[in-house]
């Protein structure tokens, strides 16, 4: 099993209703294809974690890559995993912008993620810290 994390820029004209529609489609497809994960919205960026078999991830990522609702898509990591981070979730959603108090922490994460995607260096350490902290803040389900 693998996980894949990418970061992308949200299209400027994207509305909340568009995100709900992305989630609806994603959850249907993912549930049928044994894919789990988490979609984070933060400022003007999506950060998405996808978990599943390599073949399934390739298929879903091709769909995601060609979606005009975001651009500037950079894979940060693709790793082998033994257990899923979000086994219960076809695609859980979290909007970090709702949590104003963690903005500075967030800036740090985003900077690290961007750095990782620019250099192509995969650091599972900082990424697991990131997803752990996402999990700990999962209070709102959308």
Ligand X SMILES: Cc1cc2nc3c(=O)[nH]c(=O)nc-3n(C[C@H](O)[C@H](O)[C@H](O)COP(=O)(O)O)c2cc1C
Contacting residues toward ligand X, per CB under 6 A: 22, 25-26, 29-30, 39, 46, 48, 50, 60, 63-64, 67, 69-70, 91
Query: Taking a C-beta distance cutoff of 8 angstroms, is the pair 30, 87 a contact?
Result: no
Q: How far is the CB of 125 from ligand X (least distance, A)?
A: 25
Element (H, E) at 93: strand 92-95
Q: How far is the CB of 84 from ligand X (least distance, A)?
A: 14
Output the six-digit token pair for 21.
């529609």
Q: Which is nearer to ligand X, 70 or 94 (CB)?
A: 70
Q: How far is the CB of 97 from ligand X (least distance, A)?
A: 15
Phi, psi torsion values for 2, nearest 5 degrees: -130, 160
Q: Which is nearer to ligand X, 50 or 106 (CB)?
A: 50
Q: How far is the CB of 91 from ligand X (least distance, A)?
A: 5
Q: Which is nearer to ligand X, 48 or 117 (CB)?
A: 48
Q: How far is the CB of 10 from ligand X (least distance, A)?
A: 8
CB neighbour burial string for 70-106, b if at least 16 within 10 angstroms, e if fewer: beebeebbeeeeeebbbeebbbbbbebeeeeeeeeeb
Q: Which is nearer to ligand X, 87 or 101 (CB)?
A: 87
Please state, in angstroms and rounded to a whole number, the distance separating the CA atoms of residues 103 and 106. 5
Q: Which is nearer to ligand X, 12 or 101 (CB)?
A: 12
Residue 4 DSSP one-character state: E
């Amino acid at each position: 099993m693998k996980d894949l994390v990418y970061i992308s820029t949200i299209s400027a004209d994207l509305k909340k209703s568009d995100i709900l529609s992305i989630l609806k489609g994603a959850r249907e497809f993912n549930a049928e294809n044994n894919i789990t994960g988490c979609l984070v919205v933060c400022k003007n960026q999506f950060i998405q974690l996808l978990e599943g078999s390599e073949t399934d991830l390739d298929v879903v990522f091709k769909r995601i890559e060609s979606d005009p609702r975001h651009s500037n898509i950079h894979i940060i990591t693709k790793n082998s995993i033994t257990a899923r981070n979000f086994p219960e979730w076809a695609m859980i959603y979290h909007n970090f912008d709702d949590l104003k108090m963690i903005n500075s922490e967030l800036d740090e994460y985003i900077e690290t993620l961007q750095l990782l995607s620019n250099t192509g260096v995969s650091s599972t350490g900082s990424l697991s810290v990131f997803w752990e902290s996402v999990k700990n803040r999962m209070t709102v389900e959308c």
